[in-house]
């Protein structure tokens, strides 16, 4: 169902002309009309940035979030909130009563290490919960789904950069939950029940550069929030997991993609599946590797503060290097990682973390 007069006109220029107010890149795709979209986990880290990008693109947004990890400060006044767990049938009924044209699914557990210790929780949230969502969308006739997947579906890289043809061999249960859902989405699509975009993130990082999203991630185990916490004095030290890799400085190298670039890709993915009526599965990465020590040194330079760290042993299963090939996203979505350099990522994070000093 396309919405009309109550929304601003949906206009998108070329990628060379980002919106001056938001910084989000715009698309050369044929325009689609404003849509009413649902977002699970819309108060969370990536979800809230995507909500903002959707609103700026002219869409109406309905958020469902139980705030287990999301933050109310991330909510946008123009987005409708349904508070609760989307896995609750009554909450799902309220969500689907909103006449949605598409759904973005972010609500999930995401710590790879924790998934090996608490597989029951990850099965309940990421597998059974997502399948309940997919089944509910199918029954309600909501065709379009943009799914938050992960590069964890690939496992240890057999070659670099990792493209979408790489073998799918997850080495942790978290990665398996994402792969399991991708396999189910493919079946639902083959049976004519759904049209989907599966976006395989590499390392999401950064915060909104203009400070429009301010809620910090809760209980994160990711490198950069830990670097920021060490710089701000919120933790005594950062543990560097190995410095004896065959890399340029001995520490692990990863592909980091700015969360605003991810949000832009989600808007483009909705455009793609709506315009083309085809599924899409693509990597989202910067195609550039940055080492742990390079991130620490960048944080020192930008913050003007020491980042205390201690070298410890490697974590089992961690590859020396992991870098994406995002060529398919460039080709199909006309997408570029425009803000994913180390300086922009760290500066956008330090803008928030320095307030804790």
Percent of the chain beyond pLDDT 90?
Answer: 88
When computed from its CA atoms, the radius of gyration of the chain, rounded to whole angstroms, is 20
Beta strands in the chain (DSSP E): 36-40, 60-65, 80-83, 102-105, 144-150, 195-201, 203-205, 238-241, 253-258, 280-284, 289-291, 309-312, 321-322
Residue 23 has pLDDT above 80, yes or no: no
pTM recorded for the entire structure: 0.91
The mean predicted confidence, pLDDT, of the chain is 92
> Which H/E stretch holds residue 55?
helix 45-56
Catalytic residues: 174
Ordered domains of the chain (ranges, CATH): 36-210+257-285+325-338 (3.40.50.720)
Q: How far is the C-alpha of 87 from the C-alpha of 5, rounded, in Å?
A: 33
Is pLDDT above 70 for 211? Answer: yes
pLDDT at residue 13 tops 70? no
Cβ neighbour number for residue 183 with a 10 Å cutoff: 11
Between these two residues, 8 and 58, which has the higher pLDDT value?
A: 58
> Has residue 154 got a pLDDT over 60?
yes
């Amino acid at each position: 169902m396309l919405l009309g007069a109550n929304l601003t006109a949906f206009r998108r220029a070329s990628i060379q002309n980002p919106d001056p107010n938001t910084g989000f890149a715009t698309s050369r795709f044929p325009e689609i009309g404003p849509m009413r979209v649902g977002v699970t986990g819309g108060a969370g880290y990536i979800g809230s940035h995507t909500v903002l990008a959707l609103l700026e693109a002219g869409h109406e947004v309905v958020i469902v979030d139980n705030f287990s990890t999301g933050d109310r400060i991330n909510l946008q006044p123009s987005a409708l909130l349904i508070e609760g767990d989307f896995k609750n049938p009554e909450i799902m009924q309220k969500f689907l009563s909103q006449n949605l044209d598409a759904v973005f699914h972010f609500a999930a557990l995401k710590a790879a290490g924790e998934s090996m210790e608490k597989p029951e929780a990850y099965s309940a949230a990421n597998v059974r919960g997502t399948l309940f969502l997919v089944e509910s969308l199918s029954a309600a006739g909501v065709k379009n789904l943009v799914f938050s997947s992960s590069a964890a579906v690939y496992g240890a890289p057999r070659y670099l950069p990792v493209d979408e043809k790489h073998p799918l061999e997850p080495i942790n249960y978290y990665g398996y939950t994402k792969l399991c859902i991708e396999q189910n989405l493919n079946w639902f699509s083959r049976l004519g029940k759904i049209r989907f975009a599966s976006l395989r993130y590499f390392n999401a990082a950064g915060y909104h550069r203009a400070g429009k999203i301010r809620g910090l991630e809760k209980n994160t185990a990711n490198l950069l929030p830990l670097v920021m916490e060490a710089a701000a004095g919120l933790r005594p030290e950062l543990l560097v997991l190995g410095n004896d890799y065959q890399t340029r400085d001995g520490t692990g190298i990863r592909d980091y993609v700015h969360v605003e670039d991810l949000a832009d890709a989600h808007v483009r993915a909705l455009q793609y599946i709506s315009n083309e009526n085809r599924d899409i599965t693509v990597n989202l990465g910067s195609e550039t590797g940055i080492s742990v020590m390079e991130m620490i040194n960048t944080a020192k330079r930008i913050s003007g503060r020491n980042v205390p760290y201690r070298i410890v042993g490697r974590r089992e299963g961690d590859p020396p290097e992991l870098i994406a090939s995002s060529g398919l996203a460039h080709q199909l979505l006309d997408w570029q990682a425009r803000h994913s350099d180390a300086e922009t990522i760290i500066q956008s994070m330090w803008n928030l973390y320095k307030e804790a000093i």
